């Protein structure tokens, strides 16, 4: 027993000596010499871009194409019948990214790299526009102010948010016009500051048109189009504001990793198919595939299904899934191929959309230019083909329904914009709400009283975390349901 106690004491003593020796250099030994200890703007920017764009692409697939009837649900049809539950992905993701945007601005200032500040303002404006167009009034002026102990931010009106967005985009253009600093970590334009300026000013056109029914925007629109040197705009598809994905993980097109069943729940909408087939539009082969049954029979055809069918009716429509067109392979398994990478992109804004906006502004006499409505419209159409890496058929602009018709111009402009914005986000939904085109009708088994939704309900966690400010916004804006119009839509 005595021997055992002496042995135990010896072991403990040597252990303490050894521990003391190890502790002396413990911090040095466990320090990761390759760890990043200082965050710089070029390290923060790519994660903000990738995360926010991926959020939009997820929403584009889940709701964006569905609510404007470009896709329809074959299975699990609740979303297509407007049984919308808590939809908080945009809210949560974007407010998280906006905190990083604030940090990006602070880093830009502390490191004297103003170009990052300009880019931060553009990304901030884009994200806030989506938040407010999706939900309505929202935290803006006090958002991301937790470091100032503002944990329950007030909800600004949509009009106030748009005032801030437009001001920030103008400021961004000014900052970037004089910035000589280089930009790293830029996944959109690879450091080309002029292209960021073009994006800022093209977004200004988008947002001025968005509020044009509520505010006189003529002078501001005219000032932009009159001054291309001080307010440059997209000149062609080389200026498109999109995020190019890669063939390798983890930067693949978000839908590529979707399960096959989740992808096949979505099919070509009859509404979309009818328009494309009436135009004999070759883009149909990009957006969808011939039905499996018709391919097997040797006579490929495209068949869309109606939106808003019940579970039973959807499953048996046209004899079942083999007789309904799936969505195009470039948006799924072939999105990592060289051809697919040129189609499946993350979208912020692109040249065709700008041309359609300018066509509408010119049609409504909101701008005066030497370029005609027809020319803007035709540039938008041709640019939309280029965006998909397609050559527009030589006779396409002369086809019935496509050839410019001044008596039907607004419908034509928005219809072609609707086609061009397939699987790009929620812009199609916003523009349908604003313009009323294309004319859409709720599906036969919809659960919203025959109405297509015009907003998301506020996230459930706002009811518990910020109820007073939330309720003030609801009192001001209207009931918190999917049929309450936002300010610019009233």
pLDDT in tens, 273-324: 999 999 999 999 999 999 999 999 999 999 999 999 999 999 999 999 999 9
Strands 266-268 and 71-73: antiparallel
Q: Mean of the pLDDT values across residues 406-413? A: 98
CA distance 234 to 358: 11
Nearby residues of 147 by Cβ (< 8 Å), 6 or more positions away: none
CATH topology of domain 41-254+338-489: 1.25.40
Please state the domain extents for the chain.
41-254+338-489
Q: How far is CA 174 from CA 101, 112, 179, in A?
A: 19, 16, 9
Look at 400 and 147; give whichever has higher pLDDT. 400
Structure tokens at 231: 């307010």
Q: How far is CA 238 from CA 205, 235, 361, 378, 431, in A?
A: 18, 8, 23, 17, 24
The answer to whether residues 44 and 103 touch, using CB atoms and an 8 Å cutoff, is yes
Q: How far is CA 477 from CA 271, 471, 474, 488, in A?
A: 32, 10, 5, 11
Q: How confident is the model at residue 33 (pLDDT cuts 50, 70, 90)?
A: low
Nearby residues of 337 by Cβ (< 8 Å), 6 or more positions away: 247, 330
CA distance 286 to 34: 45
The answer to whether residues 143 and 98 touch, using CB atoms and an 8 Å cutoff, is yes
Q: What is the mean pLDDT of the chain?
A: 93
Nearby residues of 485 by Cβ (< 8 Å), 6 or more positions away: 433, 454, 455, 478
Q: How confident is the model at residue 37 (pLDDT cuts 50, 70, 90)?
A: low
CA distance 109 to 302: 54
Residue pLDDT, tens place only, 226-275:
999 999 999 999 999 999 999 999 999 999 999 999 999 999 999 999 99
Q: How confident is the model at residue 146 (pLDDT cuts 50, 70, 90)?
A: confident
Cα–Cα nearest to 420, from 294, 295, 287, 290: 287
Residue at token pair 């088994």? 445
Residue at token pair 């884009």? 126
Residue at token pair 């036969």? 444
Instruction: Give percent of the chain above pLDDT 90.
Output: 90
This prediction's pTM: 0.92
Nearby residues of 5 by Cβ (< 8 Å), 6 or more positions away: none
Nearby residues of 475 by Cβ (< 8 Å), 6 or more positions away: none
| 210: pLDDT strictly greater than 70 | yes
The answer to whether residues 337 and 236 touch, using CB atoms and an 8 Å cutoff, is no
| 59: pLDDT strictly greater than 60 | yes
**How much is the pLDDT for 39?**
83
The answer to whether residues 327 and 267 touch, using CB atoms and an 8 Å cutoff, is yes
Tell me the backbone φ, ψ of residue 122, rounded to 5 degrees.
-65, -45
Class of residue 98 by CB neighbours under 10 A (exposed 0-12, middle 13-18, buried 19+) = buried
| 408: pLDDT strictly greater than 80 | yes
DSSP 147: G
Q: How far is CA 393 from CA 280, 340, 382, 389, in A?
A: 10, 21, 9, 13
């Amino acid at each position: 027993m005595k021997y055992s106690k002496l042995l135990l004491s010896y072991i403990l003593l040597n252990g303490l000596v050894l521990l003391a020796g190890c502790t002396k250099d413990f911090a040095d030994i466990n320090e990761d010499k390759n760890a990043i200890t200082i965050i710089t703007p070029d390290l923060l920017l790519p994660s903000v871009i990738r995360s926010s764009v991926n959020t939009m692409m997820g929403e584009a697939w889940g709701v964006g194409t569905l609510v404007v009837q470009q896709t329809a649900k074959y299975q699990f049809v609740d979303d297509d019948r407007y049984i919308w539950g808590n939809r908080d992905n945009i809210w949560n993701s974007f407010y998280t990214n906006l905190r990083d945007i604030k940090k990006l601005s602070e880093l830009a200032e502390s490191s004297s790299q103003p170009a990052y500040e300009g880019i931060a303002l553009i990304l901030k404006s884009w994200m806030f526009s989506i938040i407010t167009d999706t939900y309505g009034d929202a935290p803006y002026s006090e958002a991301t102010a937790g470091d100032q102990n503002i944990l329950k931010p007030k909800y600004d009106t949509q009009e106030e948010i748009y005032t801030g967005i437009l001001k920030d985009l103008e400021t961004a253009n000014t900052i970037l016009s004089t910035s000589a600093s280089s930009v790293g970590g830029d996944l959109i334009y690879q450091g080309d500051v002029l292209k960021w300026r073009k994006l800022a000013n093209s977004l200004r056109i988008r947002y001025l048109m968005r509020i044009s029914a509520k505010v006189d925007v003529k002078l501001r629109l005219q000032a932009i189009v009159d001054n291309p040197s001080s307010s440059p705009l997209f000149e062609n598809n080389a200026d498109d504001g999109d995020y190019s994905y890669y063939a390798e993980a983890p930067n693949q097109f978000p839908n590529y990793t979707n399960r096959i069943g989740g992808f096949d729940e979505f099919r070509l909408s009859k509404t979309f198919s009818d328009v494309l087939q009436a135009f004999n539009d070759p883009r149909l082969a990009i957006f969808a595939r011939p039905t499996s049954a018709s391919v097997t029979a040797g006579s490929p055809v495209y068949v869309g299904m109606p939106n808003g069918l019940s579970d039973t009716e959807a499953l048996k429509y046209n004899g079942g899934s083999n007789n309904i067109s799936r969505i195009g392979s470039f948006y799924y398994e072939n999105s990592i191929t060289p051809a697919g990478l040129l189609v499946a992109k993350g979208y912020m804004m692109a040249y065709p959309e700008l041309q359609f906006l300018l066509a509408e502004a010119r049609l409504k006499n909101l701008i005066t230019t030497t370029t005609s409505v027809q020319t803007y419209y035709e540039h938008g159409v041709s640019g939309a083909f280029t965006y998909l890496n397609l050559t527009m058929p030589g006779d396409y602009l002369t086809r019935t329904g496509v050839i410019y018709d001044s008596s039907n111009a607004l419908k034509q402009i928005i219809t072609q914009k609707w086609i061009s914005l397939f699987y790009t986000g929620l812009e199609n939904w916003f523009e349908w709400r604003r313009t009323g085109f294309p004319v859409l009708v709720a599906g036969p088994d919809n659960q919203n009283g025959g109405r297509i939704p015009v907003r998301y309900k506020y996230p459930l966690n706002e009811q518990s975390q910020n109820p007073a400010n939330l309720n003030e916004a609801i009192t001001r804006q209207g009931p918190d349901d999917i049929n309450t119009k936002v300010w610019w839509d009233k």
